[in-house]
Structure formats: C-alpha cells, structure tokens
Amino acid sequence: MKENIIAGIEAELSHKKVELEKLQQAIAKISILQADIGALERSLAIFKGNKIPESVVMRPVPISTESVIPRVTVPQIAYSILKEAGKPLNGDEIVAIAESKGKQIGRPTLLGAIYRSAKKGQLFKVMERGVFGLLEWDKKI
C-alpha cells in the first residue's frame, strides 16, 4: 500500500513539473510577442505615414539590477550575424541563425529593426526585398 501511495505522489509530482515547465516557457514568450506586436504596429504606422501612437512607442525594458549580462539590441544581433556570414542573408536565415545561437527574436521584430535602421542609413542596406546586407560592405567596394 505504501508503494502505491509513493508511486501516486511521484506521478503527480512529475505531472506538475511538466505543467510548470510549459507555463514557464509560455511566460517567457510574452515579452517576445509584445515586442513583435509593437514592432508590427510601429512599422504599420510608418508605412501608412501616420504618427506612431504613444501606446506603441518603444520604451526601455527595465533590466534587473541582478543581471550582469549586457543587453544586446536586435540590430546588434543582426549586424553580428551578417558580419559573421560575410554575405547578404534573408530575414528567415538571420532569424534561424539567431535562434541557433540561443536568441529568441520574432521575425517581425527583426525585420522591423533592420528596415528602420536601413531607412535611417544605419548599419544595414536592403539588397532586395527581404534580403539584407551591411552598409559597410558598400564602402569597401
């Protein structure tokens, strides 16, 4: 009888741990989804020629004082991926490489950041629709 109770408790404990892991993964995706939504709303406003609503203006994300890892921006991540590749890449390739390096970046967030930087003449150049290169590559030619 004691063994049955132990087995039941262990099974319930295992189930709860799996449930907790799923919830933690879902919670981790909230900030990514919020960033993607904000990027899409900002991009839509820019392309429509509208003023960016106050509700979607980029605000700095509070960083815990316990964090010792410097915050790396999406353009910095994309820049380092393109620099390492040494050739233009499309958005899907950049996202895939970022994910392979442990960076979870939504495609809309990444593309929005690159397009905004390219539009300002910073870091990136749109080689063709959806394909990006580094602005510095033009300067070497």
- Domain chopping of the chain, boundaries: 1-56, 71-141
CATH topology of domain 71-141: Arc Repressor Mutant, subunit A (1.10.10)
Name the token pair of 126.
């749109």
Q: What is the CA radius of gyration of the chain?
A: 21
Please report the pLDDT score of residue 114 as a whole number.
93
Please report the pLDDT score of residue 29 as a whole number.
75
Please report the pLDDT score of residue 89 as a whole number.
95
Q: Look at the block and give the residue holding tokens 């132990």.
A: 6
Of 118, 120, 117, 80, give the one whose Cα is nearest residue 97: 80
Beta strands in 25-79 (DSSP E): none
Please report the pLDDT score of residue 61 as a whole number.
52
Return per-residue pLDDT of the chain as tens, 141 residues. 888 888 888 888 777 877 877 777 777 777 777 777 877 888 888 888 887 766 655 555 554 544 455 678 899 999 999 999 999 999 999 999 998 888 888 889 988 999 999 999 999 999 999 899 999 987 664
Please report the pLDDT score of residue 82 as a whole number.
95
Q: Look at the block and give the residue holding tokens 């991926």.
A: 81
Q: Model-level pTM?
A: 0.52
Of 136, 111, 107, 141, give the one whose Cα is nearest residue 123: 136
6/65 Cα distance (integer angstroms): 42
